[in-house]
Amino acid sequence: MSKNLSHVSIVVPDLEAAIATMRDVHGLAIGPIKENLKQGVRLAYVDLGNGKIELMQPLIAESPVGRFLAKHPGGGLHHLCFGVDDVPAETDTLKQKGLRVLGDGKPAYNVHGEPIAFVHPTDFFGALLELEQNSAGPTEKTLGIRHES
C-alpha cells in the first residue's frame, strides 16, 4: 500500500493568530477555517504542495485536543498523518502486527469526509500517527462538520 505524508498537525491556542503568523511571517496561503464538531476542533490548512500543515484549536476543554492544549498552553506538535488508499485495510494490517489503533472501532472522518484512524504513540516512536484515506469521495461528507465562511 502506498503512503504519502498528508499533514503535520499543530495545536494552537488561537487559530486566528496562528493563521496571521502563517500568512504574515511565513508568507503562506491558508485555507478557510473549518469545524469538526465530532472531534471538537476548529482547523485550517496550509498546503505546501507535497504535504499540509494542519492548525488545530480545541472547541471544548474536555476533549483530547483540549487536554493537549491544557498541557501545552503555548501549543505544540500534535500528530503526523499518512495518506493511504484504504484506511480500514491499513488499520487491519497494523492491528494484525500488534499495533494499537485508537477509538471505539467505529469509522471516524476528517473535515473533508475522508475516513481516518489513529495509532497509539507507543507504537509509533512516541508520536501520534493518523491515517487518512486519499480521495475518499463524498461519504459522510457533512456528518458533524460545519464550514465557517
- Tell me which residues touch Co ion (CB under 5 A): 9, 54, 81, 130
- C-beta closer to Co ion: residue 18 or 81: 81
Q: Is 132 an active-site residue?
A: no
CA distance 128 to 45: 19
Of the candidates 35, 130, 132, 140, the residue annotated as catalytic is: 130
- C-beta closer to Co ion: residue 27 or 125: 125
CA distance 20 to 70: 22
- C-beta closer to Co ion: residue 54 or 114: 54
57 touches 15 (CB < 8 A):
yes
Residue with nearest beta carbon to Co ion = 9
Positions marked catalytic: 130
